[in-house]
Amino acid sequence: MLSLYFHIPFCEHKCLYCDFYSVENMSSMETFVASLEREIELRGREAGGRQEVGTIFFGGGTPSLLTRAHFDRLFTRIHEHFRVAADAEVTCESNPGTVELSKLTEFRAAGFNRVSFGVQSFFDDDLRFLTRIHTAEEAERAAESAYRAGFANVNLDLIFALPGQTPERWRENLRRAAALRPAHISAYALIVEENTPLAVMVKNKLVAPLPDEEDAAMYEITIETLAGAGYRQYEVSNFARPGYECRHNMAYWNHADYLSFGPSAHSFRKDSQVTGRRWWNVRSVQSYIDALARDEFPVSGGEEVTREKFFDEEVFLGLRSTGVDLGRLERLYGAGIVTGKEGLLQELERSGLLRRQKSVIALTAKGYAVCDEIARRLIG
């Protein structure tokens, strides 16, 4: 199965913590959509309809700034050039400040069956701090409107470990998210990314990041509260009601092939079961438009995913999500490659960080909190 990702690089306002590629100037939106159509045609011809498409994801940026007419054009191109499975998961990321019932109804009619809202917090002062354009009330209304528009599969994104955030306020955020009955909740710790206004504020000591212990305590609260509300954790930051795990994200974590479109988008193709290649597009709307006007792929770089790198990624991505099948790895990479670490595996099991079911190892809730460290020890 193939997955398709579309990066829509426009935002009404750049949030202070965000390092995704997006611009506030939307004057090139029409030309951009035409370029995106062209990129779909070029990649579609190259792919030759060999693989069926199982998931489609519009992310950004703010895809919900596009109109029904834009999506109709894009879906027409997608269906002309790719074989999309009848039950494909088709997601649109949406900013709660840019959608209302009529727009969500149009998105549903255009072909989306999943909507993901960047809610981040149900406290207006948090949202103001994050420089989000929406309010808590708009976020709640957006989720309710999505149900009324016919979306059964709704995700809410939340951010914890905000400067000065208390455990009680974070619990209240989780409670209000669960009360909206979404099928899926993603909860990420706030990361201070380089070259963002937030990084400058931290450097100038205008805000202090939450200490690591408080961040870790909030992560534990997340896992406990969402488990109590009926959400199963299936990745470090992702929680779903049974059957609503995000298939698009699972494709990334399972090393499935994905083609990505739009500026800054990354693609991946396997060459064999244990090697592949990754490439990425230019990080500029204008360069993207210019390349496609010349009928060239707007690619700015790439890398081989060697057997060694592929192995490291398999372990890392598997541990972050639903587990690693050691039997399969040994068949692909040779006996002893991970089971040679039997002592370490037993120690992690005894500490309650890891569990085993036949040949599959998976992290426990406690293990997810130290996932990177465990992966390093298993790979190293």
Residues 21-50 that bind ligand SF4 (CB under 6 A): 22
Please report how close the Cβ of residue 229 comes to ligand SF4 at its closest, in angstroms. 25
Single out the residue of 2, 4, 8, 18 in contact with ligand SF4 (rule: CB under 6 A).
18
Say how far apart CA 48 and CA 249 lie, in whole Å.
Answer: 24
Does position 54 interact with ligand SF4 (CB under 6 A)? The reply is no
61 binds ligand SF4 (CB under 6 A): yes
Residues 161-166: contacts with CB under 8 Å, at least 24 apart: 161/189, 161/190, 161/209, 161/210, 161/214, 161/215, 161/218, 162/121, 162/126, 162/129, 162/130, 162/190, 162/210, 163/129, 163/190, 163/207, 163/208, 163/209, 163/210, 164/210, 165/126, 165/210, 165/218
Least distance (Å) between residue 19 CB and ligand SF4 = 8
Instruction: Please compute, for residue 35, the number of CA atoms within 13 A of its CA located in the half-sphere on the CB side.
Output: 27
In the complex, least distance from residue 94 CB atom to ligand SF4, rounded to whole angstroms: 10
- How open is the CA angle 320-177-107, to the nearest 5 degrees? 85
**From the CB of 95, what's the least distance to ligand SF4, in Å?**
5
341 binds ligand SF4 (CB under 6 A): no
CB under 6 A: which stretch of 8-16, 34-42, 63-71, 240-248 binds ligand SF4?
A: 8-16
The size of the interface with ligand SF4 (CB under 6 A), counted in residues, is 11
96: left (phi over 0), alpha (psi -120 to 50) or beta: alpha
Report the candidate in 274, 277, 357 with the shortest Cα–Cα distance to residue 322: 357
Does residue 14 belong to the site contacting ligand SF4 (CB under 6 A)? yes
Stretch that binds ligand SF4, among 14-22, 153-161, 253-261, 280-288 (CB under 6 A): 14-22
What's the min distance (Å) between Cβ of 14 and ligand SF4?
5
- Residue number with CB closer to ligand SF4 (22 or 249): 22
Residues that bind ligand SF4 (CB under 6 A): 11, 14-15, 18, 20, 22, 60-62, 95, 118
